[in-house]
Amino acid sequence: MHMKLASLILAAVAGFCPAMRGAESIQPGEVWLDNRGQPIQAHGGGILRLGEVYYWFGEDRSPNNERGRRYVSCYASTNLAQWTFRNQVVKLADPEQLGPGWVFERPKVFYNAATKKFVMYAHLDDRRYKLARVAVLTCDTVAGDYHYLKSFRPLDHESRDIGQFVDDDGTAYLIFEDRPNGFHIAKLSADYLNVESEVCLIAEHMEGGAIVHYHGLYYVLGSALTGWNPNPNKYATAKSLSGPWSEFKDLAPPELKTYGSQSTLLLKVVGSKTDTVIFMGDIWKPRAQWDSRYLWMPLAISDGQMHLPKPREWTLDMQTGEAKIQK
């Protein structure tokens, strides 16, 4: 049968057949296929929203990637469940003579409306994680080929895991883990090509940093420093990004180690009835990185408390913002 006709019939059937509705649901921990039927490669990822379209960028760990290069893939979606592969936007050869095993992790893309450039930050390192810098890459289109610009230590501090946060007023921040000092929240320069000023240093040793602004309160989230192994991720709250921050509390029962995952982003979806904040985490498989999974779940948030429910299949109504977790 003609491929296009086959997929039209399949789409029509999926609309009527309850067993196939799964396509529009999110299934934490399961293999997540893109429009080509291939497992999504966007580990340690970030999200950029442009209008109705969400772009998911992350580490592409496909087994057939060239060994000396590092890859980032980009996918697009309007419902956050079904993702269309757009491009392997980074296929980078060792940019700073870092040697075998060099590291390019946790890519995050920001769009700068003034310069009309897409700016990617990532953690750049040697195999022993001693360089501890960010790399900056740019592109004129969201899913084009990103070009390597430079690397540096933000505000002259060590920087390993990075996170991104864009506040409701459009201000862009980089979150970075600095081993000697803690967790930095820093403002990007007007063109986003530099890290300009410190907003807050949280003197905690945490990584996988993420922030969301929800109903007048900022929530910062991170994991402990246990490499690829999961640990109990924790959050704190503050009325202002500069603090003071509350004490850190467990996001889920600590013995469950965040259900085997590690935070990478908090994504807020604003709907007509409610706002849903999604915990985006990675379930790492260090010995088979390409098969690392994703744990995305809507968070339960009220009165300054944030809770990650037990992972189950769920759906999100993009219009109303309501999330429905299956019983």
Per CB under 6 A, 128 contacts ligand GAL: no
Q: Which is nearer to ligand GAL, 208 or 232 (CB)?
A: 208
x/- string (CB under 6 A) for ligand GAL, residues 263-302? ----------------------------------------
Which helix (H) or strand (E) segment is 294 a member of? strand 293-298
Count the Cβ atoms, other than its own, within 10 Å of residue 281. Answer: 30
Smallest separation, CB 116 to ligand GAL (Å): 30
Q: Which is nearer to ligand GAL, 208 or 311 (CB)?
A: 208
Q: Contacts with ligand GAL in 43-102 (CB under 6 A)? A: 44
Share in percent of the chain as helix, strand, coil (round to 5)? 10, 45, 40
Per CB under 6 A, 178 contacts ligand GAL: no
Quote the CA–CA distance of 265 and 160 in Å, as a whole number.
16
Please give the C-alpha separations between residue 147 and each of 69, 144, 168, 221, in angstroms, as whole numbers.
14, 9, 28, 30
Smallest separation, CB 87 to ligand GAL (Å): 22
List alpha helices for the chain, DSSP H: 3-16, 257-260
Q: Which is nearer to ligand GAL, 95 or 304 (CB)?
A: 95
Q: Which is nearer to ligand GAL, 34 or 161 (CB)?
A: 161
Q: Contacts with ligand GAL in 216-245 (CB under 6 A)? A: 227-228
Phi-psi category of residue 216: left, alpha or beta, with phi > 0 → left and psi -120 to 50 → alpha: left
Per CB under 6 A, 207 contacts ligand GAL: yes
List alpha helices for 153-291, DSSP H: 257-260
Contacts with ligand GAL by CB under 6 A: the residue count is 9
Query: Interface residues with ligand GAL (CB under 6 A)?
Result: 44, 105-106, 161, 207-208, 227-228, 262
